[in-house]
Amino acid sequence: MTYPNFTRLFSFVLVLCASLPATAADKSAPAVGIVLRGDHSTARALSGIVRQYEASKQGKVTVQPFSTISGLDAVNDGSADMAASARPAMPDRAEEKGTNFYPVAWDALVPIVAAENPVSNVTLKQLHDIYLGRIDNWRDLGGPDSKINLDGAAPPLDGVEYSTRLLLFHYGDQSVSVSRMYVNVEKLEEDIALNAHGLGMSTLSGVNANPKVKMLSVEGVRASPASIADGSYPLYAALYIGAREDNPHHDEVAKFIAYTNSDTAKAILRKNGLVPYADADLMARQEERVAFINAHVFAAAAVPAVAASGETPVSAPRATAQALQRVAPTSERTLEAKERADRAAADKSKTKSGDDAGH
């Protein structure tokens, strides 16, 4: 799959939707306060907070779940005020420069299968090799002799897909062997529930109350708020709200983002299987987490170029730097994280340049 084709397709869909005439219901709807657009996983996680925010007469937030790219690009062009994103910023994308990513909660990226699937666990190496097409039969995971139907989200740079690949490959835009594509993670979950041979990635908060799908443990650890908070579940990820300082509704946006850190909002997050961002200092565990993943995924293979340089690569280095900057912008740890993020971006650029020159 190539991302540029999907980017053009979804841009066309957005333009088409915008050109449709308003229905009577649209015309009679109350005035929009601020608009939150983005991926379904993060929008679902924030929906309870939005409802309580409006019920307490703090303001109005219109939620428009579609895709990560649609949310971030809408924030960039001013057609939305906030983007819901299950991934950090992608440094190479011009449309994301100038957008601040505010972490709200910790969630788990979870492999899901149909409820009747006999497999209950997958290793990081197996998940890595499934995505590359090296493992394509359930018997290699202790299941039946049948082909693995690997599902993915079609929109380019989807939050769940990007964050998963970032952890497994160190590049969120890593090319993978996904044969079945769905418009969003909710449609993916619907297929998994009906597909005895399906496998896909979702989030703990999205499927923990869905009896039609089963979450696989990873390296023998089941995803839960407790295993996210203590870092024992390796595929945890932050959920973000993206916003720009130059947004005309900056004050209203800042008010809502502040509300996501309130005791009321935190209680809602916990009720939905999420860990409020401030409840767990998982940024301090990033190098330990990446070393753990590398040891399991690359033990018998060449380590990626960043690791081969002698440094320990940090998963989502740009996200690490941004999160630290939010809490302690001038600390030595923050400056070191920023330098590491810049080096990782430079290493990636060199690697891609070398690959291009070789073709």
Contact between 212 and 115 (Cβ < 8 Å): yes
Q: Name the pTM for this structure.
A: 0.76
pLDDT at 335 over 70: no
Give CA separation, 46 vs 62, 126, 155, 271, 314, in Å: 12, 32, 20, 12, 27
Distance in angstroms (rounded) separating the CA atoms of residues 5 and 2: 6
Q: What is the pLDDT of residues 95-132, one digit of tens each?
A: 999 999 999 999 999 999 999 999 999 999 999 999 99
pLDDT at 10 over 70: no
What letters, b where the CB count within 10 A reaches 16 and e where it falls short, cover 287-316? bebbebbbebbbeeeeebebbeeeeebbbb
- Phi, psi (rounded to 5 degrees) for 310: 105, -5
- DSSP code at position 243: E
Distance in angstroms (rounded) separating the CA atoms of residues 356 and 359: 5
pLDDT of residue 24: 34
Contact between 135 and 141 (Cβ < 8 Å): yes
For the chain, domain boundaries: 3-105+238-282, 107-229, 296-358
334, 317, 105: which is closest to 229 by C-alpha?
A: 105
CATH code of the domain occupying 3-105+238-282: 3.40.190.10
Q: Which residue has the tokens 């929109």?
A: 155
Distance in angstroms (rounded) separating the CA atoms of residues 14 and 29: 21
> Chain centroid to CA 203: how far?
9
50, 13, 14: which is closest to 34 by C-alpha?
A: 50
Token code pair at residue 13? 């869909």
107-229 belongs to which CATH class?
alpha beta
> Hey, do 3-105+238-282 and 107-229 end up sharing a CATH topology, with the first three levels equal?
yes
Q: What is the pLDDT of residues 154-202, one digit of tens each?
A: 888 999 999 999 999 999 999 999 989 999 999 999 999 999 999 999 9
Q: What is the pLDDT of residues 28-83, one digit of tens each?
A: 344 459 999 999 999 999 999 999 999 999 999 999 998 999 999 999 999 999 99
Instruction: Give the other-Cβ count within 10 Å of 93's Cβ.
Output: 15
